[in-house]
Amino acid sequence: MFHPSRRDALVAASLAAAFGLDKPFAFIDEAEAQTTPDPAVGFHRYKVGSIEVTALYDGIWEKPHDPAFIKNASIDETKEALAKAGLTTAFVSIPLTVVVLKLGERYVMVDSGSGAGQWQPTATKLASNMAAAGIDPARIDTILLSHFHPDHIFGLMNRNTDAPVFPQAEIVVSATEYKWWTEPGRVGALPEARKALGQRINAVFPGWKNFRLVEGEPEVAPGVRLVKAPGHTPGHAAYHVSSGNEQLMMSNDTFYVPALLAPHPDWQGTYDQDSALAVETRRGLIERVLAEKMLICGAHFPFPGLGSFAKDGAAYAFTPAKA
């Protein structure tokens, strides 16, 4: 039986107060944790001050174990970390959550999901969960991109024609990310596994007129600021949301599988283009989150993609929120 610690109880109470809930957050313990089943409700709402946040479940990748997935850890070590987090060890659970922010009457989406199965055939749920949440795709005013990996951008493009799915929305992305992927000669220099992605990006995005490239760490929507978080990709971005005294760090892929990277923040994922920089970024971002006592969400955290971190020696403990 799960017996929450005093820290868990305090965190749950403080999160409930922060988001105006009438009961404490529920946290997932090892016995309750599930991976493959879809959530009973595929959207989850909470508040950051006056900003309404809707987490939308797109699906999950049951990633087969691969000795190359974590460069400096064995499969047995990754299985041990998964088991300690209460997750199956049969595969690595990589869910995908897309977030929509409601800023007054304005709708801002962060990343676009995997495009109805274009990334993984088990990640097809975004459109139906947007509908269930009452969010009309035509109402999306702005899309903030974290980076150009397929599970974050394929939702921008029609599967068969590459036509824009959100033609009226302004797409905001770090200029570093855009320019890296589209610079002359880039596709030829990519690893073989990334060439098709690079070809698609270069065939489609330069012809679109609704991209806004941003430098530095500007405010990209009211109360939302880009945070440079390189390493996973050269221009990977997190987003900091603030309203009143409340803050949320949208970490995107900085801490992509917290069951692995919270207790082992120095593990280096094969999908990080600059592994050493990704580790430095990861530690810097989470230390800021802890110092400023903000909540954090991530694209591949257990749905609803929301949780809290605490220091655990030289590493961290992650507690996922339960939808």
Cβ neighbours for 267, distance < 8 A, ≥ 6 positions apart: 70, 71, 72, 73, 260, 261
Least Cα distance to 292 among 217, 241, 220, 232 occurs for 241
Token code pair at residue 161: 């024609």
pLDDT tens, position by position, for the chain (323 residues)?
Answer: 233 343 344 344 434 433 333 334 443 333 333 346 789 999 999 999 999 999 999 999 999 999 999 999 999 999 999 999 999 999 999 999 999 999 999 999 999 999 999 999 999 999 999 999 999 999 999 999 999 999 999 999 999 999 999 989 999 999 999 999 999 999 999 999 999 999 999 999 999 999 999 999 999 999 999 999 999 999 999 999 999 999 999 999 999 899 999 999 999 999 999 999 999 999 999 999 999 999 999 999 999 999 999 999 999 999 998 77
pLDDT in tens, 231-269: 999 999 999 999 999 999 999 999 989 999 999 999 999
pLDDT of residue 322: 79
Angle at which helices 192-204 and 175-182 cross, to 10°: 110
CA distances from 31 to 27, 117, 283 (A): 11, 30, 29
Name residues whose C-beta falls within 8 Å of residue 46's C-beta, 6 or more positions apart in sequence: 19, 21, 53, 55, 306
Alpha-carbon gap, residue 165 to 118, rounded angstroms: 13
Contact between 261 and 255 under an 8 Å Cβ cutoff? The reply is yes
Quote the pLDDT of residue 148: 98
Domains of the chain (ranges, CATH numbers): 6-320 (3.60.15.10)
CA distance linking residue 278 with residue 114, whole number of Å: 23
- Report pTM: 0.88
